[in-house]
Chain A
Amino acid sequence: TQLLEQSPQFLSIQEGENLTVYCNSSSVFSSLQWYRQEPGEGPVLLVTVVTGGEVKKLKRLTFQFGDARKDSSLHITAAQPGDTGLYLCAGERSGGSNYKLTFGKGTLLTVNP
C-alpha cells in the first residue's frame, strides 16, 4: 500500500491551461513537501506546508495542505512548457521520529506549446 497516493499519474495539457494534481493519504502528516524533477535532474524542493488548511503561492503555483493534514494539492494557473516535469509530494508521518521522508510516485506533467 502506497502511503502517499498521487493523482493523476500522467497529465498532458496545452500551454495556458490550468491544472490541479493531488497527493492523498489515510495517514496524518506533520508536514508535506512538493518537489519538481526535470528530465535528467534530481528533484528540487518547491514548497513545504506545515499547518492544516495552509495555502502557499509560488508565482503561478498554489499549494494547499488539507485541514486534517492528510492530503495536499498543487494548482498551476496558465501552465507553461517550463512547468513540464515530475511533481512529487513527500512527507513525514505525524508521530514519526523525524528520520524519514515518504515519497509519492509522482505526477508526470507535460505542457505542450
Chain B
Amino acid sequence: EAQVTQNPRYLITVTGKKLTVTCSQNMNHEYMSWYRQDPGLGLRQIYYSMNVEVTDKGDVPEGYKVSRKEKRNFPLILESPSPNQTSLYFCASSLTGASEAFFGQGTRLTVV
C-alpha cells in the first residue's frame, strides 16, 4: 500500500529540548516536503527536497532543519523548540513539486 508514515503522531515536549519527527514514503517519490497547519493560517511549507541531498527552504523555515540522506526518508528536526512551534505537522511526498501530494497522518506537537 502506497503510504507516507510519520512518527510520532503526538508529542509534548519542553522548550529547548531537541526533537526529530520522522517521515518515510514507499512510493519512490523524488519530492518530499514538510508543512505546518495552524488555525486561520492553513498549510504552510517549511522545507522541501527535490531529491537526495537536495533541500531548500519553504515559506516558514526558521527554527527547523531537514535532511535527505535517502530517497525514502525526510526527517524534520527542531534543534531548540519554542512554544510558537506548537502546531500540526504534515510530511508529504509526490513525483514532482506540483503533482499529487500524498500526506502522512500528521504529528501534533505541543511545546510547553
Q: Which of A29-44 contact B (CB under 8 A)?
A: 30-31, 33, 35, 40-44
B42 close to A96 (CB less than 8 A):
no
B98: which of A2, A45, A88, A101 is its contact (CB, 8 Å)?
Answer: A101
A100 close to B41 (CB less than 8 A):
no
B103 close to A43 (CB less than 8 A):
yes
| CB closest chain-B residue, reference A30 | B98
B101 CB within 8 Å of chain A? yes
A7 CB within 8 Å of chain B? no
A87 nearest CB across to chain B (Å): 12
State the CA gap A20–B73 with chains docked (Å): 38
Q: Which of B39-90 contact A (CB under 8 A)?
A: 40-43, 45, 48, 50, 58, 90
A103 CB within 8 Å of chain B? yes
Main secondary structure of the interface of A (DSSP, over half): loop
| CB closest chain-B residue, reference A31 | B98
Q: Size band of the B side of the interface?
A: 20 to 34
Q: Which of A81-110 contact B (CB under 8 A)?
A: 88, 90, 92, 96-101, 103-106
A22 nearest CB across to chain B (Å): 15
Find chain A residues with CB under 8 A from B40 CB: 105
A51 CB within 8 Å of chain B? no
B100 CB within 8 Å of chain A? yes
State the CA gap A59–B101 with chains docked (Å): 22
| CB closest chain-A residue, reference B4 | A42
Find chain B residues with CB under 8 A from A42 CB: 4, 90, 92, 103-106
B93 nearest CB across to chain A (Å): 11
Take A41-B106, A99-B50 as given contacts and tell me if A88 and B100 are in contact as well, using a CB distance cutoff of 8 Å. no
> Would you list the 4 A-B pairs with minimal beta carbon distance, nearest first?
A42-B103, A105-B42, A92-B98, A99-B97
